[in-house]
Amino acid sequence: QVQLQQSGPGLVKPSQTLSLTCAISGDSVSSITAAWNWIRQSPSRGLEWLGRTYYRSKWYNEYALSLKSRITINADTSKNQFSLQLNSVTLEDSAVYFCAREGGYFGSGSFYWDNWFDPWGQGTLVIVSS
Amino acid sequence: SYELTQPPSVSVSPGRTARITCSGDKLGDKYASWYQQKPGQSPVLVIYQDTKRPSGISARFSGSNSGTTATLTISGTQALDEADYYCQAWDSSAFYVFGGGTKVTVL
């Protein structure tokens, strides 16, 4: 089955860049029936979808509007993983960050996303502090 | 932007039925998913496409969705069902939206 293993620092200074990686086993980051997502959870904001990357003849990225100017999600096919970069972090970016897979399927000549997440990575607590 | 509203907490006696609601504008026109999260763990999908259970999820979990409300029902609630539960849906204005979560306490 698909497993996601997260890595990255748990402490980031204000104004710097948060960087996390999610390694995939049991699937391919280049799969045409999957999207690779980042989601975060904090007491103040709850669960918040951040963005995703997926491959459909070329790479696509979609981001939450509130973060669009600060976020980048990239895939690394050589390592079968994807990453999150969040620039110019503030205290409000402190949260537990999760990676998660969304599947999809082809039907009636079209592609449809599942619109749910399974599985999730183990989570990484990131504290923004000087 | 689209919002999903859940009650903060639900209490249930062991063996009884717990119902957790999730409200949103025309939610019944969308698919709702539900996740269980225990302390210190990642969310686990328990219901997708309103009513479907992933492999390995107990048949005690069921779901429904109509009008403006999706409901997660836990039948014969056990102590191990004590957790936070989150609903989630897709909306064109905000992509993926989560409810604020409901803490289920088994008394």
Each residue's pLDDT, cut to its tens digit, for chain A (130 residues) gives: 999 999 999 999 999 999 999 999 999 999 999 999 999 999 999 999 999 999 999 999 999 999 999 999 999 999 999 999 999 999 999 999 999 999 999 999 999 999 999 999 999 999 999 9
- Helix (H) / strand (E) element for A30: namely none
Rounded to a whole number of angstroms, the distance from the CA of A14 to the nearest CA of chain B is 25
The answer to whether residue B93 scores a pLDDT higher than 90 is no
Contact A23, A2 (CB under 8 A): no
Instruction: Work out the pLDDT band at B1, boundaries 50, 70, 90.
Output: confident
CB within 8 Å: B31 and A115: yes
Residues in chain A: 130
Sheet containing A71-76: which strands, arranged edge to edge?
A3-7, A18-25, A81-86, A71-76
What is the number of other CB atoms lying within 10 angstroms of the CB of residue A126?
23
B28-70: pLDDT as tens digits: 999 999 999 999 999 999 999 999 999 999 999 999 999 999 9
With a CB-CB cutoff of 8 Å, which residues 39-98 of chain B face chain A? 41-45, 48-49, 54, 86, 88-90, 94-98
Across residues B74-86, what is the average pLDDT?
98
Q: Closest residue of B to A43, CA-based?
A: B100
Q: What is the pLDDT of residue B92?
A: 87
Distance from CA of B76 to the nearest CA of A (A): 25
Q: How confident is the model at residue B71 (pLDDT cuts 50, 70, 90)?
A: very high
